[in-house]
């Protein structure tokens, strides 16, 4: 076939008619383009309608990024962060495993663990606090900070290769952190975002926010570096809660807590087992994030799981208490005491030592227990702000006390050990481990009441599981 024949096509009658094939293909291409343009115009018209829902779903990014290049850069950045998170999740096997022990040898009624902060990593002893959103350490930055005092270790921020302050002009500081604990002062863009963090017991910490690396041990025996965590570099702090500690490990249910990062990488569960609060520092158990052979899922007795409400009293871990009984007798406590919508409700808190109850719950509990302690002399030891204390020098058989039981939503019952509500407060002195929180008030189940129990917080299922344990 000749080259000319390529441009001609036989008509039905056999004669040649000028119908160039390539020209026809070009015409078809043009028509296709016109159709495509028409479709795009129709879509554009749909975008320009007053349908708010459509505009929110399809066009909201255009209003935020009028410059297409900045929009693309943002999308790429988000994709890179997501890919990094996926890679980190694949990289980390097992879960985080941290030693957890009583702080009694350090002069505190808190529970302590150790974290390794910075590059190179340095060890710090910190309070484990499920009621705190901020993780911070005793820190010296640009000449500000106490340095090493009272046997505390100090984090020298400028010696860490991974330490990077959060600027006070950033969205993280001005928007995300502002309503929680950041200060409004911001003289220059290079000024670090600062905080003044106040605790319910009057303790406080002041410093600057930073992104830093924390190195943790894993359940498989390996170590992992958690990069870019939000921490506080505290140049000043005060309060009895920090006695013997270098800082705080914030485990509250918050986007800014250590819990948020750890559960996003290792699975939405964490658990701990609190040893006896009078145990020496050589006795410890573990704080675990993610999977672990010590999970309560295989050890929890029937009826030992209750709903965990993560939105009721944020950022705390709220549980739904139905009532309290002594032995077989259910105490007469108004139902509104347990209702968070009327100022009541109950949280589980590792950072509070004693158990705090609203006045109308506190009175029936302590007076009911005191009836079984009439053989003991009532005393008021100096420096102990507990109402019901007794001399135990003559000895006392704890088994005479009735079983205190918290009745929880779903039928679960928490039965703390008797030593957890008749506590050793001083040599020869035992006290009922409760304080009045006033009215109305949030009820707090403190760490002494939680001791010798294994607790598992499932943040995905919103459940709390628990079982008695020696925690050794």
Residues designated as active site:
129, 349
Q: Is 408 within 8 Å of 390 (Cβ atoms)?
A: no
CA of residue 270 relative to chain centroid, distance: 10
Nearest to 295 by CA among 275, 320, 321, 268: 268
230, exposed or middle or buried, with CB in 10 Å at 0-12, 13-18, 19+? buried
- Give the residue carrying structure tokens 């672990």: 292
Nearest to 308 by CA among 262, 268, 265: 268
Q: How far apart are CA 314 and CA 317, in angstroms?
A: 7
Q: How far apart are CA 386 and CA 394, in angstroms?
A: 21
- Give the residue carrying structure tokens 């598992």: 456
The strand ranges marked E within 264-348 are 269-273, 284-290, 305-309, 317-319, 321-326, 329-330, 346-348
Q: Is 157 within 8 Å of 140 (Cβ atoms)?
A: yes
3-state secondary structure of 289: strand
Q: Is 353 within 8 Å of 109 (Cβ atoms)?
A: yes
Q: How far apart are CA 353 and CA 424, in angstroms?
A: 13
Query: H-helix or E-strand containing 71?
Result: helix 68-91
3-state secondary structure of 156: strand
Sign, CA torsion 300/303/304/306: positive
- Give the residue carrying structure tokens 């901020």: 134
Nearest to 324 by CA among 364, 359, 367: 364
Q: How far apart are CA 275 and CA 333, in angstroms?
A: 31
């Amino acid at each position: 076939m000749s080259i000319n024949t390529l441009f001609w096509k036989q008509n039905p009658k056999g004669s040649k008619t000028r119908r160039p094939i390539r020209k026809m293909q070009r015409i078809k291409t043009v028509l296709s383009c016109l159709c495509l343009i028409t479709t795009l115009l129709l879509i554009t018209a749909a975008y320009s309608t007053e349908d708010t829902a459509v505009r929110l779903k399809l066009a909201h990014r255009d209003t935020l990024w009028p410059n297409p290049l900045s929009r693309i850069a943002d999308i790429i950045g988000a994709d890179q962060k997501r890919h990094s998170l996926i890679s980190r999740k694949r990289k980390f096997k097992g879960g985080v495993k941290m030693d957890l022990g009583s702080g009694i040898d350090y002069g505190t009624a808190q529970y302590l663990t150790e974290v390794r902060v910075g590059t190179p990593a340095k060890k710090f002893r910190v309070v484990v606090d499920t009621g705190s959103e901020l993780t911070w350490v005793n820190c010296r930055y640009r000449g500000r900070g106490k340095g090493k005092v009272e046997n505390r270790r100090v984090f020298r921020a400028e010696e860490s290769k991974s330490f990077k302050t959060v600027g006070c002009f950033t969205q993280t500081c001005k928007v995300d952190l502002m309503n929680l604990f950041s200060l409004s002062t911001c003289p220059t863009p290079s000024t670090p975002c600062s905080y003044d963090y106040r605790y319910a017991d009057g303790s406080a910490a002041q410093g600057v926010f930073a992104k830093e690396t924390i190195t943790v041990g894993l359940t498989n025996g390996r170590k992992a570096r958690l990069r870019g965590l939000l921490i506080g570099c505290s140049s000043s702090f005060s309060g009895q809660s920090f006695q013997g500690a270098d800082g705080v490990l914030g485990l509250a249910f918050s986007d800014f807590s250590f819990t948020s990062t750890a559960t996003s990488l290792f699975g939405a569960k964490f658990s701990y087992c609190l040893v006896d609060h009078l145990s020496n520092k050589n006795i410890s158990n573990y704080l675990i994030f993610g999977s672990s052979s010590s999970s309560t899922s295989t050890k929890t007795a029937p009826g030992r799981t209750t709903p965990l409400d993560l939105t009721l009293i944020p950022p705390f871990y709220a549980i739904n208490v139905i009532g309290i009984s002594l032995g077989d007798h259910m105490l007469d406590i108004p139902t509104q005491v347990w209702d968070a919508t009327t100022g009541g409700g109950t949280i589980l808190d590792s950072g509070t030592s004693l158990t705090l109850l609203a006045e109308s719950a506190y009175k029936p509990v302590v007076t009911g227990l005191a009836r079984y302690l009439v053989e003991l002399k009532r005393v008021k030891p100096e420096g102990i702000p507990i109402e019901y204390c007794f001399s135990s020098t003559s000895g006392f058989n704890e088994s005479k006390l009735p079983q205190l039981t918290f009745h929880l939503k779903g039928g679960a019952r928490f039965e703390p050990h008797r030593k957890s509500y008749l506590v050793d407060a001083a040599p020869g002195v035992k006290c009922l481990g409760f304080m009045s929180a006033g009215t109305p008030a949030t009820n707090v189940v403190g760490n002494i009441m939680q001791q010798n129990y294994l607790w598992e917080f499932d943040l995905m299922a919103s459940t709390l599981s628990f079982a008695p344990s020696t925690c050794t």
